Structure 1
Amino acid sequence: MTATNETIENLTQWEYLALNSELNVADGHARQALTDGQTKIVDQLPQLFAEGEQRPVELIEREAHQAYFTLLGQHGYPTAPGRVLSCYSSSVAMEILSRALAGSVDTVALVHPTFDNIADLLRGNGLRLVPVEEEPLHHEDLPDSLLTEVGCVFVTTPNNPTGTVLAEERLRRIAEQCAEHDVVLALDTSFRGFDPRAHYDHYAVLEASGCRWVVIEDTGKLWPTLDLKAGLLVFSERVGLPVEKIYSDILLGVSPLILALIREFSLDAAAGGLADLHEFIAGNRALVRAKLAGLPGVECPDPDSRSSVERVRFSERIGVEVWNELQRHNVYALPCEKFHWDDPTEGQHMIRIALARSAGPLAASVDVLRSVLEAR
């Protein structure tokens, strides 16, 4: 792909430009070094490959789902056949959901801001979007006027890029409102693994509410598996959408090798690896904040975030301009305008830094960022 900042149309194109740089702090995928426990799993790849050849895919998939959902506290996830669909990525799961919605829904209420490919995929399937600002979403009932206008409410939790988590009582209330108005409630929980506040059992809450619901999970943000991952598309029994049919139009299933890898990484995380990851991300966040401390007009606007990304806001600089200066030093971060899919001006004074990186390259990247900001 050849692109410049003048021709880039979405966040993924910005991320693509960074893939070959050692100082890539743009995309939210895990790119830190493997832990000792994870290295042992990678060393077992020949055995996992053989297992994928010899055992039924259904059994490996069931084990992977159980290990992953249990790790993150989602004990109420549906175990009936066909209720958890394994996809190549969360974006593929999002495309399936978007197509399924388009058959019976005209308008979707989408949290604002959030990662722009959600908005792009929904719009690309002919759906009209209504923004739901993050602050009132977490503190107030959804207006009846909104719920009579839309066929689906879509929330990202923890949100990307803010890290804001939808609390259990808020999820319960929103689900109850969606049930009252027969509106589908969709959640993208791709960053759930980083924040224990998002580990309450969402599926138990959703099922108790009686609403029609869909959840997208993602294993790709947690572990440095070279993008060997799965997006999981989970839905309620009476969701009333052709999810399974559209899934079958797009793919047959995910490789049993990848599913076995997810199972093993989940088990390693449950044995202490997840706590170590939380400590690692917290240390990298502290590193970023310390290196930028004291710069006039520079702040990190998400003090409570535990996600694997960190926004940096500038009172006097434009994010794209900062990006231009950084890339001259082969450093790539992510301008935040396009997260604000309904009003890009709201994000124009920010960039997002990925924290799932080894400390050395991350520190070098932030040192360059500080020098760029000091030079102005």
Structure 2
Amino acid sequence: MLVNRMLPTVSAENLTQFETLALSSSMNLADGHARQQLTAAQSKIVAELPDMWAEAAVRPVDEIEQEAAESFFGMLGQHSHPFAAGRTLSCYSSSLAMEILARSLVTTSDAVALIHPTFDNIPDILRGVGLRLVPVEEEQAHDEDLPAELLEQVGCVFITTPNNPTGRVMSEGRLRRLAEQCAEYGVVLALDTCFRGFDPDAQFDHYAVLDASGCRWVVIEDTGKLWPTLELKIGWLVRSANVDLPVEKVHSDILLGTSPLILLMVKRFADDGADGGLAELQRTIADHRALVRAELADVPDIGFVDDRARVSVERLHVGSRLGMDVWSAVRSQNLYVLPCQKFHWARPREGERMLRLALSRNSPTLLAGARVLRSALLGVPELRG
């Protein structure tokens, strides 16, 4: 039975604020950032940071940046990435890259078609610059052509693949057709691929497909979800030659560049990833998903929503309970998960009976959290609707 504690009332306006509440908790299963233990190979890389510091201080930054991009994009199968053509910009984070994209889009358009559901900082950033959002349901985006009346009213179609929180990946054939549609209507196709590293199905060469379509495109990539590097990360903002948006100008308005030390670290982690580290990470996430499902297997009136997901998060439908009720109960035991209403940015009620759990954690932390969650779901009658 859970023990109720007097905790401050929570008034979180977005998912990141919910995640911030968990940062000091020993059972933080809220944010999707990488917080698992370093592998033996990764620990050796960290031990070499003083040498990397000395190297970063003397080498040309553009050289280091190119090497980091070649290693990172190569690890993920993105061999047609256009770094050599000067169309890949590094940022402190993927959220900053998204802010730059949003500021660029609003110079030529007033509306964006955005996948639904998805992480709420995407709609928040787009709305924050004044863009109107039109929801594109995930099933529609993956299974059929977008209607002409939609494409005629927006300047951009924005897709997250793999999607957060569902883990759904847009196939190569579907991406090709969507890009062809965007080319036909002169619409920018924007992709957020920040969870790409967890799912081999998302590692076909997107840049080859996009370039062949002739569409205007922008892709956001991220290192921060993969490796437990204490928020030292790079977001990449990649664009087509014909994108016709002031991306580079807006980028220069906001930052001069990223740290060559972090870029060197990214290169080393990516080289390790290509040498088996990425496959090891994928196995770890699969094991962690199985651990959570096994621990909750006998809990009645719940379900795991995304059967085929390989990304580092897991959605749990809590049945007749409300997700916020469960969240409040487990919070009293210092466990933090993420309620899902705000992923459903157009219709929050669709997510009110779901929670999202992060899997990029140490196994003991994940097991302890799953046991607290199991106890709450089984033992607190007031959680039932």
Of 57, 61, 73 in structure 2, the residue corresponding to residue 53 of structure 1 is 57
SS at match of 2:374: helix
Residue 330 of structure 1 and its aligned partner are, at CA, apart by 0.3
Partners of 1:4 and 1:109 in 2: CA distance: 37
> 173, 189, 210: which is aligned to 1:206?
210
Query: In the alignment, which residue of structure 2 is the partner of 1:354?
Result: 358
Which residue of the other structure, out of 66, 82, 87, is the alignment partner of 1:62?
66
Q: Which residue of 1 aligns with 2:270?
A: 266
Find 1:156's aligned residue among 156, 160, 164.
Answer: 160
Per-residue displacement from partner, 1:208-256 (whole Å, max 9, x unpaired)? 0000000000000000000100100000011010000000000001100
Aligned length: 374
Contact 1:215/1:234 (8 A) holds in 2 = yes
CA displacement at 1:294 relative to structure 2: 2.1
Per-residue CA deviation, residues 283-336 of structure 1 (Å, 9 max, x unaligned), is 000001111112111111100000000000011111111110011000000000
Residue number in structure 2 paired with 1:76: 80
Matched with 1:14 is: 18
Matched, 1:230 2:234: yes
**Mapped partners of 2:8, 2:154: distance in 1:** 36
Amino acid in structure 1 at the alignment position of 2:221 = E
1:132-180 per-residue CA deviation (whole Å, 9 max, x = no partner) reads 0001111100101100011100000000000000000000000000000
Q: What CA deviation, in whole Å up to 9, does each residue of 1:39-93 have, x standing for no partner?
A: 0000000010011101000000000000000000000100335311000000000
- Residue type of the alignment partner of 2:117: P
Mark the CA change 1:10 to 1:4 in structure 2 (over 3 Å): closer, same or farther. Answer: farther
TM-score by length of structure 1 reads 0.98
* Offset at residue 4 of structure 1 (A): 5.8
Are residues 1:106 and 2:110 paired? Answer: yes
Q: Which runs of 4+ in 1 moved over 4 A?
A: 3-6
Q: C-alpha separation between the residues in 2 aligned to 1:6 and 1:357?
A: 25
Q: Note the C-alpha offset of 1:36.
A: 0.3
Query: CA offset at residue 102 of structure 1?
Result: 0.5
2:295 aligned with 1:253, yes or no?
no
Question: Hey, what's the Cα distance between the residues in 1 that align with 2:108 and 2:276?
Answer: 44
1:284 equivalent in alignment to 2:299: no
1:95 and 1:4 map into 2 onto residues whose CA distance is 32
Rounded Cα–Cα distance in structure 1 between residues aligned with 2:110 and 2:84: 30
**CA shift in 2, pair 1:63/1:52, >3 Å:** same
Partner of 1:240: 244
Q: Distance in 2 between the 1:82 and 1:253 partners?
A: 14
Local SS of the residue matching 2:123: helix
1:126 aligns with 2:133: no
Aligned to 2:122, the other structure's residue is in SS state helix
| 1:331 equivalenced with 2:335 (yes/no) | yes
Instruction: Indicate which of 288, 313, 317 corresponds to 2:321.
Output: 317
Structure 1 stretch 6-15 or stretch 243-252: which is displaced more?
6-15
- Residue 183 (1) aligns with residue 166 (2): no
Distance 2:305 2:318 in 1: 10
Whichever residue aligns with residue 249 of structure 2, its letter is K
2:46 is equivalent to residue 37 of structure 1 = no
Structure 2: distance between partners of 1:338 and 1:234: 27
Matches of 1:94 and 1:216 in 2, distance apart?
7
Match of 1:297 in 2: 301
Q: Unaligned 5+ residue runs, structure 1? A: none
Give TM-score, length-normalised by structure 2: 0.96
Partners of 2:358 and 2:10 in 1: how far apart? 23
| Post-superposition offset of 1:5 | 5.8
Partner of 1:89: 93
Measured in 2, the distance between the counterparts of 1:91 and 1:243 equals 14
Alignment-mate amino acid for residue 46 of structure 1 = P
1:135 to 106, 126, 139: 139
**Structure 2 CA distance, aligned partners of 1:179 and 1:53?**
43
2:169 corresponds, among 157, 165, 178, to 165
Pair 5,233 (structure 1): closer, same or farther in 2 beyond 3 Å? farther
